[in-house]
Amino acid sequence: MRKEFAVIGLGRFGGSICKELVDQGVEVMAIDISEEKVGNFANIASHAVVADTTDEQVLRELGLRNFDHVIVAIGDDIQSSILTTLMLKEIGVGYITVKAQNDYHEKVLRKIGADQVVHPERDMGRRIAHKILSNNVLDY
């Protein structure tokens, strides 16, 4: 059976995850509170939905409890990120990946049961620093 994915928050990070999953042949539901952001994904995602995911009823109506993996890519609005994650957990989503803004945000996300917490800017900064160093080692 094919896995079902949903991405909540279609900023640069969530949007890029959504596009890559689709490119890899996976079905993705794209969700954002902004009509404009959702409009940009109407022809990319299997379903593109305007919704405020801090509303538990909305999560139920979208049928998110049946999804195998939900990615929460709401960054700046930490309260919305936490509330969304908590309710996804409560309705029984199998696996939840969440983008954290800082270490405190990560701590709370882990406490409420996020399965995977990522810090894209921090991790990419580290990776690039290592790449710069390894290139320099080869250069000298």
CB of 78 to ligand ATP, least distance (A): 9
Cβ distance 10 to 30 under 8 Å?
yes
CB-closest chain residue to ligand ATP: 11
CB of 25 to ligand ATP, least distance (A): 23
Tell me the C-alpha distance between 41 and 30, whole Å.
Answer: 7
Residues that bind ligand ATP (CB under 6 A): 8-14, 31-34, 37, 52-54, 73-77, 80
CB of 16 to ligand ATP, least distance (A): 8
CB of 99 to ligand ATP, least distance (A): 7
Q: How is residue 106 written in tokens?
A: 């990560």
Please identify, using beta-carbon distances, which residue of 4 and 84 lies nearer to ligand ATP.
Answer: 84
Please identify, using beta-carbon distances, which residue of 116 and 134 lies nearer to ligand ATP.
Answer: 116
Name residues whose C-beta falls within 8 Å of residue 28's C-beta, 6 or more positions apart in sequence.
Answer: 5, 6, 7, 18, 21, 22, 45, 46
Name residues whose C-beta falls within 8 Å of residue 135's C-beta, 6 or more positions apart in sequence.
Answer: none
In the chain the first and final C-alpha atoms are separated, in Å, by 52
Please identify, using beta-carbon distances, which residue of 36 and 139 lies nearer to ligand ATP.
Answer: 36
Please identify, using beta-carbon distances, which residue of 20 and 134 lies nearer to ligand ATP.
Answer: 20
